[in-house]
Amino acid sequence: MDDGRCWEMKPNCMMNSQSKEKSNCPAFRENIGCWEVDWKKIVESMPASQQEYWYMFMEKCPSCIAYRAHPDEMQARIDEVKVLYLND
């Protein structure tokens, strides 16, 4: 499977039309794969309303090609965020 960055694996990714500097996606902004982002640290620093959004967003990850390319790494990231949300 392709080992590019997530937005490279997904030709229709909305990040492809944004500048890295102004992107709201930490992976794209930092030029790393989503499986490399410290999502726990990012989500912990957000207001509760945004934390819930990202938790729900990450529930969709298993259907993504980037997840399928890096399932162990990405699932570990999802689980770290899930624990934060479930402990509230």
Whether 26 is in a domain gets the answer yes
- Model pLDDT, residue 2: 53
Percent of the chain with pLDDT over 90: 45
| Tokens 């790494």 found at | 73
Could you read off the pLDDT of 39-73 as tens digits, one per residue?
Answer: 999 999 988 888 888 888 889 999 999 999 999 99
- Model pLDDT, residue 14: 85
Whether 45 is in a domain gets the answer yes
Cβ contact 81:14 at 8 Å: no
- Model pLDDT, residue 87: 62
Whether 79 is in a domain gets the answer yes
Whether 36 is in a domain gets the answer yes
Whether 1 is in a domain gets the answer no
Q: pTM of the full predicted structure?
A: 0.81
Whether 41 is in a domain gets the answer yes
Residues 85, 51: Cα–Cα separation, whole Å: 8
Tally of domains within the chain? 1
| Tokens 């090609």 found at | 65
Range of the domain at 46: 6-86
Residue 12 per-residue DSSP state: T
Q: Would you say residue 82 has pLDDT above 90?
A: no
Whether 37 is in a domain gets the answer yes
